[in-house]
Every structure is written in structure tokens, then in C-alpha cells.
């Protein structure tokens, strides 16, 4: 006979409310947190581009920077990583294509990327509204993932 463990209802409620703050309109998350897929996507782009990357810089409760953000100074999760690498003009364009392919493979909607001289920008958005921007220049690259704006409450 197989035994399964049951979670006591009181513990289940405590877990569900963890990280929430009671507001007049109900429980509202105190901070936003990137989904685990965000890290997998960033790793996929870093792997595709190669080179040495900085550790992830996470700001889980940043002021909204996306257009049409939440009212009352909404908040969002922002994760960035950078790399210093020397690339010639053709390599910048090739890196843009690699980033485009990696973002598309993650299931995001990828916008046509811009490539002008020594700068390429690739942007994608997932179904939850998370926006990833990969900027590649001749001496620098950055991956920036911004969560959707949520009302600061």
C-alpha cells in the first residue's frame, strides 16, 4: 500500500499567504519575482553568444520602466547581465541573429531585430508580458529582462 503525505490546511494557507501583504482590496504580492523560465532564457542567450558574463543583477521591486506601466508608481522585476567582448561589425550582426534564435526557441514573440553598424538590439515578449532586450555592441553586450508592471498598491 502506498502512503501519501497530506499537508495540514493551516500550513497550506500560511504558504499561500507567504509574501503577501493585506491591503484594503485583498492580498497583494509585496514584490514581483521573475519566473524560473526567465533564468533559463537568459542562460540560453548567454550560451548562444558565448563569452564571459557578469553575475545576474536582480532588482525585484524596481520602478516600472516599460511604457503604459501600472498606475501609482508600479513595480516590476528586472534582471540584467553584461559581457565585455570585442566584435567586428559582421560579428555584431551574427550575434544578433544568435540572440534572435535563442529568444524564439524559448517560445517568446520576437520582434524583428535592428542592426545598424556596430549595434544590434533584439527584443522579445512572452505570454505573461515579460520583456527581454538583448543589446549587442562592438565592445559590450547586455541582456535585460523586465517583468510586467504591477500596481505598487
Q: What is the pTM of this model?
A: 0.70
Supply 38's cell numbers.
526567465
pLDDT band at residue 72 using 50, 70 and 90 as cut-offs? low
CB 12 within 8 A of CB 142: no
Q: Which residues contact 95 (CB under 8 A, 6 or more apart)?
A: 49, 87, 120, 136, 141
pLDDT in tens, 18-39: 343 444 434 444 445 555 577 8
Would you call 46 helix, strand, or coil by DSSP? helix
Sequence ranges of the domains in the chain:
32-146
Measured CA to CA in angstroms, residue 138 lies from 18, 55, 93 at distances of 45, 21, 10
pLDDT in tens, 84-120: 988 898 899 999 999 999 999 988 899 988 888 889 9
CA 78 from chain centre, in angstroms, equals 6
Amino acid at each position: 500500500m502506498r502512503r501519501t503525505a497530506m499537508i495540514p490546511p493551516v500550513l497550506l494557507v500560511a504558504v499561500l499567504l507567504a509574501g503577501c501583504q493585506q491591503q484594503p482590496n485583498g492580498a497583494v504580492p509585496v514584490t514581483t519575482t521573475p519566473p524560473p523560465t526567465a533564468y533559463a532564457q537568459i542562460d540560453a542567450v548567454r550560451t548562444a553568444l558565448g563569452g564571459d558574463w557578469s553575475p545576474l543583477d536582480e532588482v525585484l521591486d524596481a520602478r516600472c520602466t516599460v511604457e503604459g506601466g501600472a498606475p501609482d508608481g508600479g513595480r516590476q522585476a528586472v534582471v540584467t547581465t553584461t559581457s565585455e567582448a570585442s566584435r567586428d561589425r559582421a560579428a555584431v550582426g551574427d550575434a544578433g541573429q544568435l540572440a534572435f534564435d535563442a529568444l524564439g526557441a524559448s517560445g517568446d514573440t520576437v520582434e524583428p531585430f535592428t542592426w545598424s553598424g556596430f549595434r544590434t538590439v533584439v527584443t522579445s515578449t512572452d505570454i505573461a508580458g515579460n520583456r527581454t532586450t538583448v543589446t549587442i555592441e562592438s565592445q559590450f553586450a547586455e541582456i535585460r529582462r523586465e517583468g510586467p508592471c504591477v500596481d505598487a498598491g
